[in-house]
A and B are shown apart, each in its own frame.
Chain A
Amino acid sequence: MQITVNGNQHEIDVEDDMPLLWILRDELGITGPKYGCGIAQCGACTVHVEGIAVRSCQVRAADIDGEITTIEGLGQPDALHAVQSAWVEHQVAQCGYCQSGQIMQAASFLDQNDDPSDEEIDSAMSSNLCRCGTYPRIRKAVKTAAENLRSA
């Protein structure tokens, strides 16, 4: 089958039930999306399908329906997405392992709501686990990103 990741087409030959996460990581070598739990509890594997945040550990190969964007496709070190800029500005990461997923979750959320309330931010970001406890900075970074997206 063919899938499109970050604008590039790939031919893959995998089982119907192989999760998108492992197609990305082990078949295509795209390692920005992380394996954390495999059961949609941590959100480290979050990618976009047609711009919507999904848990790539829960998307079977046979169910992939649309273009996939990973953290690598959202922005690069020399061309950051507004959410990534805010993450850098607020020095969010500690170990950083969850942050690819946090950023993809925030980018998708802000794409649909660029003027969220505190409660909406809390609600949107609470399915992504951070074991280091960077939540205070995640909140600030989402707000900054929202401001920058609105003024862009």
Chain B
Amino acid sequence: MGRVKTIARRTFLIGSVAVAGGVAFGTYLVRRTPDNPLLADASSGDAIFNPWVKIDSEKITLITPHCDKGQGVVSVQAALIAEELDVEFGQFETDFGKPSGAYWNTAMAEEGVPFMATDRSFAAETMRGVMGGLLKVMGLQGTGGSSTVADSYYKLRQAGAVARETLKLAASKKSGIPVEQLKTSKGAVQLPGGFELKYTELAEAASVLDPVQNVTLRDPSQWRLLGKPMQRLDILGKSTGTLNYGIDLSVEGMVYAAVKINPRQGGAIKSFNAVEAKKMRGVIDIFEITGGVAVIADNTWRAVMAVEAIEFDWGVAPYPAEQDEHWKVVGDSFTPELLDSQWRNDGDVDAVIQGEGVLESEYRSPYVAHAPLEPLNAIVKVTDENVEVWSGHQLQRQLQVLVAAVTGHEQEQVTFHNQYIGGSFGHRLEFEHLKQAAEIANKMRGTPVKLTYSREEDFAHDFPRHLSVGRGRGKVADGKVIALDLQIAAPSVIGSQMSRANIPVPGPDSQISAGSWNNPYNLANYRMRAYRAPELAPVSSWRAVGAPGAGFEFDCMLDELIHAAGADPIEERIRLMDHDVSRKVLETVAEMSSWGAELAKGSGRGVAFVESFGVPVAEVVEVTKMENGIKIDKVWVACDVGKIIDPVNFENLVQGGVIFGLGHAMNCEITYSDGMANQSNYHAHEGLRLYQCPHIEVRGLENGDKIRGIGEPPVPPAAPALANAIFAATNLRIREMPFNKHIDFV
């Protein structure tokens, strides 16, 4: 890593991986393989090769434990198994499987160690190994942090290969033909002479064999599925309205529930009057639950109408009532006592940044809602013996723990049926709606309860992305950027989120500064300090977590310095770049966009580079200043995930990430008045609409040495690239999201 040196390593465990305090574990626990959850339900003759592949006489089932909230990971996980198993799409079923420690996430630890993603030192790699072991001991199954492909890339191909070789062994025993003479394709073992034995025909024979563990994975040059365009397994269902989301499910005997929880989040309910609501048609019951009231009815709409008819007396919010106060608390947090971590201290910023020509700026990134289109929902049925939950969630096992705590059952008594999710962006990492559904169902034991949030309830109880303030000082000389001293203050998103999951998190929160300190630039003098503001409104991980805010603050500050130096925005970023893979990303986006070409009058271009989740991403945005405001014309994106599994899905996710980043930067924020969010629906928190969507050209590179995910990394560079483009076109430097507070968009 060249001259990148003084990176804080003062703590063993840090914020972005949730870790129970004081966990001690030995080598035995780390080596022990968690129990295979498929064995619990196995019948005689079922061939269960590992936690991901089950074959019986009827069908082949592939378990895809990572939840699918739109990223297409059911298909991606299945394809990784199918590549080695030699089954085609259409020959198998998929299942989200039961929550289990066997599905512990092997990749989530990457983001949780206090080292740059580009750091391959012994210390960094050792710490990643230790963190990975800890997640295994915890049995942390989860989808998040763009970790699905990284987690699955090796182990699911391995799972497919183990099943394939075991089936060949079964075929060999059955036919008497040596394994070496057997081949596999299209769900069958191919025998010499044109005969074949279908995997389903071999299931019983394979079921009594020890799985063959000594397998060799195929070289990517031999792949027939991976790396090529695939038809997503869910595409037909999602194009015909036949795929069920959690909100579409029905369970025999089910009743419908709506809730209203104190919109001053975490505040108490003092009293309520439901006299009129109780008289409304279809209302079955109305009762108080933690923080609010539940209505039970025979239809979702009737339940919501009745909730709206209740009069409430709410307690105060446990955080400042007005938005200005939130900003003041964050702005007052740049103190030595609240220093969370000094992530970089290269050179000597104090000596260099003084005297004439010091450039100073302050940036702001607001609260933003997740607001996926499918509102939060869950069906819960509680009996004395067990609990069943139907919903879509990213943290399957923690869900069981928290639901069990509400109903008084043991974790093992909670059965969770995970569902396809209509968008999350981090929303389905939260548990409050599930705890509420469990509380309601627990009062109505034996009756399944379907809780659906109204959009207004969903906005009121969206734990938004944290707000942050970035303060930068810098200096340029001889046409170059020579120094940057960046400080960012924000409440801890990981601390807030994990407090609701009852998981204490020691150490600094790397997400306060994610997207700033970790960009692999080699600035001669660079200091980055993160401050942990006191807890304000409850906040949660929003797509790319810290990087959309801190990355905006960092990259725009750098852009200001580059302009002050009179340098070219891409050339100076390339000059400063200290990582070959990232430099190539910048060079590629320059080439794609014909950077430097003459633009039409009124047009301007901005570039931004932000690395998040180990993925370097560079984006160039071109805008035109129209009579009525800014029009976003084009975006070029280059990024590097090491290996692209499905180029079609990859392009879709990158374009979607850019649109997500642009739209929220343009017109979205959550603000609080009287302790309540002012924005209650999409009219006030709109994002990008189709007519505003630029042409987006994507190029994925494969130079990186680790396999990474693409769900989040395209988001962070979009906002700074847009701000930098607006500056280029108008000379207006916008230092605060959403940008529509300062300029109109057409």
Given contact pairs A96-B70, A126-B690, A88 touches B656 in the complex (Cβ within 8 A): no
Is there an interface contact between A41 and B693, defined as CB atoms closer than 8 Å?
Answer: no
Cβ A91 vs Cβ B683 within 8 A = no
Shortest B279–chain A CB gap in Å is: 13
Given A36-B455, A100-B241, do A88 and B231 touch, yes or no (CB 8 Å)?
Answer: yes
Closest to B298 in A: A26
A49 is an interface residue with CB less than 8 A from chain B: no
Query: B681 at the A/B interface (Cβ < 8 Å)?
Result: yes
Most buried by B among A19, A76, A135: A135
Known: A22-B300, A34-B373. A134 touches B422 (CB 8 A): no
CB-based contact B300/A94 at 8 Å: no
Contact count A vs B, C-beta below 8 Å: 181
Residues of chain B in range 411-458 having any CB-CB distance to chain A below 8 Å: 420-425, 452, 454-456
A15 CB to closest chain B CB, in angstroms? 6
In the complex, whether A108 has a CB less than 8 A from a CB of chain B is no
Q: Is there an interface contact between A42 and B373, defined as CB atoms closer than 8 Å? A: yes
**B374 contact set on A, CB distance < 8 A:** 34, 36, 95, 97
| Assembly CA distance A95 to B300 (angstroms) | 23
- Give Cα A86–Cα B16 distance, bound, in whole angstroms: 41
Determine whether A109 belongs to the interface, using a CB cutoff of 8 Å to chain B.
Answer: no
Q: A126 vs B686: C-alpha distance in the bound complex, in angstroms? A: 12
Pair B425/A131 contact, Cβ less than 8 Å: yes
Bound CA span A95–B374, Å: 9
Q: Are A84 and B239 in contact (CB under 8 A)?
A: yes
Which B685-711 residues sit within 8 Å CB-CB of chain A? 686-691, 693, 695-696
Complex: how many Å from CA A129 to CA B688? Answer: 8
The answer to whether B240 and A93 touch across the interface, beta carbons within 8 angstroms, is no
Question: How many residues in B have their beta carbons less than 8 Å from beta carbons of A?
Answer: 65
Shortest beta-carbon distance from B658 to chain A in Å: 7
Q: Which of B290-309 contact A (CB under 8 A)?
A: 299-302
B256 at the interface (CB under 8 A from A): yes
Per-position 1/0 for A2-26, Cβ under 8 A of B: 0000000000000100110010011
Give which listed residue, B373, B454, B653, contacts A38 with CB less than 8 A: B454
Q: Does B407 contact A (CB under 8 A)?
A: no
List residues of chain B with CB within 8 A of the CB of A138: 690
Query: Residues of B contacting A25 with CB < 8 Å?
Result: 248, 300
Closest CB-CB distance, A50 to chain B, in whole Å?
20
Q: Which residue from B300, B452, B687 sits with its C-beta under 8 Å from A129?
A: B687
Query: Considering the chains assembled together, what is the distance between the CA atoms of A132 and B682 in angstroms?
Result: 14
Q: Are B688 and A98 in contact (CB under 8 A)?
A: no
Given known A-B contacts A93-B234, A129-B373, A87 and B239 have beta carbons under 8 A apart: yes
Q: Cβ of A144 < 8 Å from any Cβ of B?
A: no
Chain A positions within 8 Å of B69 at CB level: 95
Contact (Cβ within 8 A) B239 A35: no
Contact of B682 among A33, A41, A88, A95 (CB under 8 A): A41
Instruction: Looking at the assembled complex, report how far the CB atom of A106 sits from the nearest CB atom of chain B, in whole angstroms.
Output: 11
Contact of A128 with B690 at beta-carbon distance under 8 Å, contacts A71-B241, A93-B238, A94-B652 already known: yes
Known: A34-B247, A38-B454. A95 touches B235 (CB 8 A): no
What is the chain B residue whose CB lies nearest that of A40?
Answer: B683
C-alpha spacing A37/B372, complex, angstroms: 10
B251 at interface, CB cutoff 8 A: no
List 7 A–B pairs whose Cβ atoms lie within 8 Å, in order of A's numbering. Answer: A41-B686, A72-B241, A127-B689, A129-B682, A130-B690, A131-B425, A139-B693
> Footprint of A on B, CB under 8 Å?
69-72, 231-232, 234-245, 247-248, 250, 256, 281, 299-302, 371-375, 420-425, 452, 454-456, 648-649, 652-653, 655-660, 663, 681-683, 686-691, 693, 695-696
**Residues of A in contact with B (beta carbons under 8 Å apart):** 15, 18-19, 22, 25-27, 29, 31-39, 41-42, 44, 70-72, 75-77, 80, 84, 87-88, 91-100, 103, 122-123, 125-139
